[in-house]
Chains A and B, each alone.
Chain A
């Protein structure tokens, strides 16, 4: 069974600090996507990153296929960044990690 592991499970930052979220896969994949979710809210796609480094605003994702991992870097965190970040293996059957819960304090 395909599995996705995320770390850390939770993270608390002070506003303006940077965050580094990790995702590892049980298989080799070049189909990685990162999502954001507010508590009880819908998931919103942040980045699709099959390999290498992709950036969107303050978000930077790096995927290393041969190491079966992907990371999401959030720079200059803001209070509104608080929520859960999930990574997923995007094949014909989507598999999600359990997420990293981020809290950004003022």
Chain B
């Protein structure tokens, strides 16, 4: 079964702190995505990638950086965390064909105090 693993599951930091969220997929998928989910806003795309070394900007990129170091690994970086970035973050992956199933990780709940 295809797998997407996120870490950590929960993270608490202070305003101005640095945070790195990790995502690893073992599906040999080309596409990987970072979303944030907030009540009233649904899932919003932060960044996505077509493959190792590639990065595309999503709909809500401000305050976030991302890096795809390998086919398997996609990281989301918050270099100066703010309370507005308190959210539930999901990573997802899929193959080249848009008809392919999208697989999600279990999410990382981030709290910025």
* A contacts, CB < 8 Å to B: 1, 31, 33, 35, 40-45, 48, 50, 86, 88, 90-99
Contacts and interface: CB of A to CB of B under 8 A. Distances in A.
Given A40-B107, A42-B107, A48-B101, A94 B88 contact: no
Nearest to B107: A42
A45 B95 CA distance: 14
A105 B41 CA distance: 26
Nearest to A33: B102
Contact of B98 (A42, A44, A91): A91
A97 B42 CA distance: 7
Interface residues of B, number: 25
A98 to B, nearest CB: 4
Interface of B: 31, 33, 35, 40-43, 45, 48, 56, 58-59, 88, 90, 92, 98-99, 101-107, 109
A41 B90 CA distance: 10
Contact of B42 (A31, A90, A96): A96
A93 B48 contact: yes
Nearest to A6: B42
Given A31-B99, A91-B98, A44 B48 contact: no
B107 A48 contact: no
Nearest to A9: B40
Given A42-B90, A48-B99, A98-B40, A93 B104 contact: no
